[in-house]
A and B are shown apart, each in its own frame.
Chain A
Amino acid sequence: MDLYEHQGKELFAKAGIPVAEGRIAFTVAEARAAAEELGGTVVVKSQVLVGGRGKAGGVKVVKNADEAEAAAQAILGLDIKGHITRRLWVERGVAIAKEYYVSITFDRSAKMPLLMLTTMGGMDVEDVAANHPDMLARLHVDPALGYRGFHGVQLMAAAGIPLDERKALGVMLAELYGVFQSEDAMLVEVNPLVFLEDGTLLAADAKVTIDDNALYRHPDIEAMRDLAAMDPQEQAAREAHLAYVKLDGDVGILGNGAGLVMSTVDVIAQAGGRPANFLDVGGGASAEKITTALEIVLSNDKVNSVLFNIFGGITRCDEVAKGLLSALEATEIRAPIVVRLDGTNAEEGRALLAEAARPEITVEKTMLEAAATAVRLAKEAS
């Protein structure tokens, strides 16, 4: 789960990491009120889960409430790389002397947390890594050891941090690692981390991603989820505990198992079609589950045909066929469904579907044939 900047900063503040004081605003009026309350120079920042807000005009420094109002007017509703701004973070302006970058990532390859620090703050770290690799200090932390003071010392020395700044920065590194660890983060990134003109240190941005598998032990973070910003299909799937990802085509896809569904999405594209979604119905074959899954896929108006791709293992294909036939009774089907059943009891499953002779169903034997048919039907319907 990706957090908004203001949510990340909330976690930072809880851990004692200094952040600028601010207010959340959903309307222009709320933004104005926030600016009045904070007084003086404020920064009005779009809260979207994507980078590049500054370049897209989503961050404005303003001198007073009138300007804050105008900035809010401009930023609310702003589309930043497909993410619509629905909330703002209005925070007290600070006098920045220096910008650094620090992050802690979950390095899957090394299977260790990775600390990265550079004095080239405010830039895209992938650019720094590519163009100035010597400027980017990197250090792995052995999870059995945990973060120790010497990690910070090594990292700051490697990044060329001036001696007089190391004490304060060392404290913040330890605190950030504490957030990474205690909140089950997959990423904690501060870009920029700033030294103010008065010498104090501040996390001027916050990019935090929390491990979905660990959310059960962080109800406070789960409660931060912005349901309004979620795609309606993704939200419905979430409630039904189904893995769904919206894509932008017109062939709806559901199947059993993440890998098989990913592969089905690829095969639709290879057959010249455009996949509308990824949906894993998981194991089992209850009519209820299949009904819900079909309803979610079909609730996307773009969908012109559906590919239902099942490889039966422990769940037998005849059970899946029965589940599907009951689902067709339970819900209205507005697009043709191509069904491919393979694996355990596939023949029995196909026989059941043939017997039912539902006009909305076309049965195919292989994944590739099914993909070709689903693509053809989608093209005919569009």
Chain B
Amino acid sequence: MAIIATKETRLVVQGITGREGTFHALRNRDYGTNVVAGVTPGRAGQDVEGIPVYDSVADAVEHQGANTALVIVPPRFAAEAILEAAEAGVAQIICITEGIPAHEMLEVYHYIRPRGIHLLGPNCPGALSPGIANIGIIPAEIFKPGPIGLMSRSGTLTYQIGGELAAKGLGNSTIIGLGGDSVIGTSFIDALDMFQADDDTEYIVMVGEIGGNEEEKAAEVIAERITKPVVAYIAGFEAPPGKTMGHAGAIISGSAGTAAAKKEALEAKGVRVGTNPTEAAQIMADLVAKH
């Protein structure tokens, strides 16, 4: 049944009347996602090519039964947009916006987590379940349905590995972008547990990068409770310490957060780590062929 982006998804797009919001809301709908509403304060009563627009997420929930929110609003309004969706009672929130202050995200994280609301991102490309639904900005054309759950902190790197898997005839259950920021709603561990519980997922590919220690923590969880085969790739071996490599969260602090440490932690728990995206895809292809 895939994860996050499913047949049950009833999507409300926050920021739907913005250029990016309109573009991606329509792309998502064209793919088959059930886009039930949009929100732009002050634009209630309008519609975007038939998608009704409301002033608030609460109205979208009340009138259209929205259960998932996609946040595509400028960074200084994004934390509030997430909180608004949480208060309106949606179960899942996917935030594409890049550039939200980290302190704001701390507050958001600690507000939504105990309430059991699921946040993906921010600074992520969203979630795509090929053939079922696409929420966000992932170019769905590259991917096809299949047994591999793919999760990543980077957008284009996900497309790169997804493209390499597709070239080998392998498809995906769900592709999820976790996001490139230092505080994100869904960690590798959260995603691993979701893929483990998902009947459509038989294998898992994780794509990590420098910064933080979520990959190291994921390695422990993989050894402890993930029975599906996991293959990993880590980017940033050549990154100098103290420099932010594009993503706000991709920074080696002191001696912490290096690619080498992550690779070592994963390999210590028996996870095979490809030295480049091509090799990671090949390792996965060999694994699938053997099964």
Contact = CB atoms under 8 A, between A and B. Distances in A.
A313 B139 CA distance: 5
Given A256-B156, A266-B276, A270-B275, A111 B237 contact: no
Contact of A144 (B111, B181, B243, B244): B111
Interface in B121-146: 137-139, 141-142
Contacts of B163: 311, 342-343
A257 interface: yes
A247 B102 contact: no
B139 A211 contact: no
Contacts of B160: 260, 263, 311, 342, 367
A230 interface: no
Contacts of A343: 139, 142, 159, 163
B155 interface: yes
Range of interface residues on chain B?
35 or more
B106 A111 contact: yes
A265 B27 CA distance: 32
A106 B102 contact: yes
B217 A109 contact: yes
Interface string B153-167: 111111110010000
Given A112-B106, A262-B245, A280-B246, A269 B156 contact: no
Interface in A66-98: none
B229 interface: no
Contact of A313 (B109, B156, B233, B246): B156
B107 A143 contact: yes
A262 B235 contact: yes
B104, B235, B278: residue with the most chain A Cβ atoms closer than 10 Å? B235
Contacts of A217: 76, 101
Interface in B237-258: 237-240, 242-250, 254-255
B182 interface: yes
B207 A259 contact: yes
B38 interface: no
B105 to A, nearest CB: 9
Contact of B235 (A181, A214, A266, A275): A266
Nearest to A259: B154
A95 to B, nearest CB: 32
A378 to B, nearest CB: 15
B212 A270 contact: no
B139 A213 contact: no
Contacts of A270: 275-276
Given A108-B211, A143-B103, A262-B246, 12 more contacts: A108-B182, A109-B214, A142-B110, A144-B107, A214-B104, A245-B239, A247-B240, A257-B156, A311-B156, A311-B163, A313-B155, A342-B160
Interface of B: 27, 75-76, 99-104, 106-107, 109-111, 137-139, 141-142, 152-160, 163, 180-183, 207, 209-214, 217, 233, 235-240, 242-250, 254-255, 259, 275-278
Interface of A: 2, 106, 108-109, 111-113, 126, 142-144, 181, 184, 186, 211-214, 216-217, 243, 245, 247, 255-263, 265-270, 275, 278, 280, 311-314, 342-344, 366-368
